[in-house]
Amino acid sequence: MSALRRRTALEWSLVSAAFAVIAFTIGVWVALDRRPPEWDHANHLQRVVECADDLARGDVRTVLARSSFYPPVVPCLAGLAYALAPSDAAAAQSVILAFLGLGMAAVYALGRRFAGGAGGVAAALAFGTAPFVVFSAMRFQLDLPLAAVIALALLLLLRTEDFGHRGASLLLGFVLGAGMLTKPPFAAYLLPPIAWTLARARGRRAFANATLALLVGALLALPWYGPRLFGLGPQIANRAFKQAAESGYPETFTAAALRFYPEWFATQFGVVAVLLFGVGLVVAARRRQAWLLAAFLVPFAAFALIQNKNLRYTLPLLPVAAVLAGVGLDALRGRLRAASAAALVVLAVAQVGATAFAVPGGVTIPLLGRPLALESPPMRTDWHHRDIMALIMRDQRGAAATVSVVPNHNFFSVSNFRYYGRRDGLPLEFAR
């Protein structure tokens, strides 16, 4: 085996080991945690159960019609796993961890392209141990899968060599379709790098390959998006602005709104990773790596101008941020580089521990005053959903009923009752 292959194998081993540690930690957390799924988490788990039933009947039409806003790929992958796993929650968690592994692998490959092998490993570690990535990996949401598919799409976009290779372009088309069927905002993250690549493309062959990729992606997405073509845009606008205003979010161009994402970036991504990211931004600008800069800065600016703010919305930018952090580490030399790499590893361990088990707990970031991580230790409290539903069924003598759930607590709301009722096959309808 050549020295290059040995080094590459070692790098993949390091990335795999990091993923294994993260996955094991999350597995322990899942085994200990007893909290009910919250709001969207419960809604997505309900769709896992429903998609499993639909697929068992071969009812593809119902699969496509289930939700007016969320595409079916991730819930239905979990639904397929549900046929093999002991529970829907275990199936859903296995799918989320699989996407985490995919994301780390794609980020490593991207980082290797821009920052060499060590930079690629650092990028994968920065992404996989980012506090908000770990937080999201403990919940069945669509944003972490979206981030993983975006990382894969960016990697394939680079491998088309400005759409000069037909095979890579065709594969990119399939991933573009899969990304659109993961979550609608996928397009917002991919448009800038695709546009930049198209601007550099030369010749009829390149434009034919680009057309092929976009056509394949559109054909895959069309069965779900076609019936929603005119209704999806107003839904997105309502969520971005109208509902945000009703929920009390500050106006878009106020200081509070504009500083939200920058203030929380270190908590979301990690302190050392953010410092390396800053170095990487400068280095990428000096090297005129406009493709990489556009892939981060344009979507970031777009989401910063949306009134509805949530760290989930910028989570899909963390793969590119991690690559820039790898570029930053690669640009350092000597002891500073070694110290930065060591600090990245130490903080990675601290971030995973703080997020999953609040160890260390209560740590704040100097100057910002924000937490080191969004601490989410396992909760052992029993909220008695099953006991309550059992009492209702006993009172109804097994007959169907409509139940009003007045509280709107994240662990005690119509969302988690509806999910539990659907999962357990009870003839109950839940409403507020």
Q: Does the pLDDT at position 402 exceed 80?
A: yes
In contact, 37 and 416? CB cutoff 8 Å: yes
Work out the pLDDT band at 1, boundaries 50, 70, 90.
low
Nearest to 412 by CA among 42, 44, 36, 46: 36
pLDDT attached to residue 245 = 72
- Tell me which of 177-186, 250-259, 346-355 is least confident: 250-259
pLDDT attached to residue 246 = 65
Q: How far is 202 from 197, CA to CA, in rounded Å?
A: 10
Q: How far out from the chain centre does Cα 351 lie? A: 18
The mean pLDDT value for 244-252 works out to 76
- Tell me which of 166-175, 245-254, 350-359 is least confident: 245-254
pLDDT attached to residue 287 = 95
Instruction: Provide the percentage of residues in the chain whose pLDDT is more than 70.
Output: 98
State the chain's mean pLDDT as an integer: 93
Q: Does the pLDDT at position 365 exceed 80?
A: yes
Which three-class secondary structure state does DSSP give residue 364?
strand
Tokens 């003839």 correspond to 427
* Residue 421, both tokens: 């009722």
Tell me the pLDDT tens digit for each residue of 198-245: 999 888 999 999 999 999 999 999 999 998 888 788 887 777 777 777
User: Which of residues 14 and 252 earns the better pLDDT score?
Assistant: 14
Q: How far is 360 from 364, CA to CA, in rounded Å?
A: 11
The mean pLDDT value for 387-392 works out to 92
The mean pLDDT value for 360-367 works out to 91
pLDDT attached to residue 294 = 95
Q: How far is 322 from 125, CA to CA, in rounded Å?
A: 8
The mean pLDDT value for 88-97 works out to 90
